[in-house]
Amino acid sequence: MKGQLVWMTEPMKFEIREYDLPKVEPEAVLLEVLQTNVCGSDLHIAKGDMPHLCNGGIGHEMVGRVIEMGDRRQTDSAGNPLKVGDRVVPCYLVTCNN
Ligand SMILES: [Zn+2]
């Protein structure tokens, strides 16, 4: 199985790239992307408003399904039980929970 991502080669130029799926580390999970969202920062990046981000994978908001879990991963970041097949929404801004 291969993964795919949208890669921006320069502002407003995109291509679909394939990559080998990573080996899942003991504390990690591997997700299948089910649905994505385009947010305001993605639009600024795509237009070239953030020159330091003008060549790379784009997008950071998604709903996914757990397809593989590391040996030591049993919960999500909030401590709730997690298993293969669960749908998740990754949090791209993690706080200290205080
Ligand atoms: Zn966003």
Write out the two tokens for 87: 């749908």
CA of residue 80 to ligand 1 center, whole Å: 24
Going edge to edge, which strands form the sheet with 13-20?
Answer: 13-20, 2-10, 56-57
What is the whole-number distance in angstroms between the Cα of residue 15 and the centre of ligand 1? 20
pTM of the entire structure?
0.82
> Tell me, what's the pLDDT at 98?
59
Rounded-to-integer distance, Cα 5 and Cα 57, Å:
7
**The pLDDT of residue 65:** 98
* Residue 34: per-residue pLDDT: 96
The DSSP annotation for the chain comes to -EEEEEEEEETTEEEEEEEEPPPPPTT-EEEEEEEEE--HHHHHHHHTSSGGGSSEE---EEEEEEEEE-TT--B-TTS-B--TT-EE---SS-----
23 Cα: distance to centroid of ligand 1 (angstroms): 27
Instruction: Give the pLDDT means over successive 10-residue stretches in the chain (98 positions).
Output: 93 96 96 93 92 88 96 94 96 71
pLDDT of residue 77: 85
Residue 35 CA to ligand 1 center (angstroms) comes to 14
